[in-house]
Structure 1
């Protein structure tokens, strides 16, 4: 009888420890942002796209157009139990260039700034990118019973 009681106490203790361990938050880091020392080596009005990539590395994202800026993005995400993952920190370093490819500006943004930097755009131009569902639905009623017989 005493043996069964000890096993029960040990089981409850192990279950309690496992449930407490499951409730600890875990953090994940995603992306890369250059260090401030590296960014200070970039000269606005002098450096080019190639020299920026050489000094601070290849960007994780670049502008929508070929002549767009470089965007370096780093995020820290908190995962806690059953809750939805939450972004608790985000840094974006945006380096913009002139039409000639010379550095025009270097900006650093965080979640506190509230600045939204579009990293991707999805634009449908003049109906060229019509989706599958739209094509399918546009054909409904476009044929007659005579078409099916022939």
Structure 2
């Protein structure tokens, strides 16, 4: 009887895991305090903390990336409330632009599952069968060199 009652309750929020915050969440109240053309990089960092990432080719672009995920039993973690705040600074370090992006403006990027072949790592059948025949010093046999060996000893 308890099992019959537990199955419908499995979808209730009582059995869901707590949400977990990832990244550096830029609080909307703190973002409202920033005025483009007035604040500098030091001001933004003092208010919001360090950015999650900076631009690869433009260090004057800062990204504050955050998401909330929830672990569902028997499945992969689901990500919700994804948000990216992009801040652009001029050469003098003054804030020029603030842009907010949500999950509705993000693109899904699929991962390509390929490997790059490395020349010389593939062996033929004959190399596999006869590869060690004729190697000089195979296994260290016949060489008695060590710390106390050598000419005159």
TM-score, normalised with respect to structure 2: 0.58
Q: Does the Cα contact within 8 Å between 2:85 and 2:101 map onto a contact in 1?
A: yes
1:34 corresponds in structure 2 to: 26
Residue among 120, 132, 143 paired with 1:139: 120
Give the Cα separation in 2 of the matches to 1:31 and 1:66: 21
Shift of 1:72: 1.3
1:84 aligns with 2:65: no
Q: TM-score, normalised by structure 1?
A: 0.59
Contact 1:70–1:96 under 8 Å retained in 2: yes
Larger Cα-atom Rg: 2
3-state DSSP of counterpart to 1:138: coil
Deviation for aligned residue 1:19: 7.2
CA distance, structure 2, for counterparts of residue 56 and residue 93 of structure 1: 11
What is the RMSD of the two structures over their aligned residues, measured on CA atoms?
Answer: 3.4
Q: How many residues align?
A: 120
Are the equivalent residues in 2 in contact too, given 1:47–1:103 (CA < 8 A)?
yes
Structure 2 alignment gaps of length 5 or more: 110-114, 123-130, 137-153
List alignment gaps of at least 5 residues for structure 1. 1-11, 119-130
> Which residue does the alignment assign to 1:115?
106
Q: Deviations over 1:69-95 (max 9, x none)?
A: 121122111221102211121111111
CA contact (8 A) 1:67 1:101 kept: no
Q: Report SS of the residue matched to 2:30.
A: helix
Query: Which of the two has greater helix per residue?
Result: 1
Whole-angstrom distance in 2 between the partners of 1:140 and 1:32: 44
